[in-house]
């Protein structure tokens, strides 16, 4: 069987975004009154954002914003610093050029 396509799971492949996720979650949930310590975000490491929000809402419910709005805000906070990391662009060039050189799609 020959390789006909290459799929990149971008979260963590070219840029380790876990610190961005943990910081965004800690700041957001703390601002909503959820009693967190910085290390508490490790409890939900690797979870989908909506599941993380649901978990912390069950621990310490807040009135507003909605869970969907909280998840969207967390995602926005992760995207902002992730997209400005200069090393990301250099890291992208190696695997992408390799795929192009091998003529994968």
Catalytic residues: 9, 11
Taking residue 71's Cβ as centre, other Cβ atoms within 10 Å add up to 19
44 in Cβ contact with 25 (< 8 Å):
yes
Taking residue 95's Cβ as centre, other Cβ atoms within 10 Å add up to 13
15 in Cβ contact with 87 (< 8 Å):
yes
Helix (H, G, I), strand (E, B) or coil at 19: helix
């Amino acid at each position: 069987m020959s390789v006909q396509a290459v799929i990149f799971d971008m979260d963590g492949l070219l840029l380790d975004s876990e610190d961005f996720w943990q910081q965004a979650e800690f700041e957001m949930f703390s601002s909503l009154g959820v009693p967190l310590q910085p290390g508490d975000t490790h409890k939900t490491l690797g979870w989908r954002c909506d599941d993380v929000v649901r978990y912390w809402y069950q621990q310490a419910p807040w009135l507003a914003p909605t869970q969907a709005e909280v998840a969207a805000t967390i995602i926005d906070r992760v995207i902002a610093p992730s997209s400005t990391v200069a090393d990301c662009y250099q890291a992208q060039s190696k695997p992408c050029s390799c795929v192009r050189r091998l003529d994968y799609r």
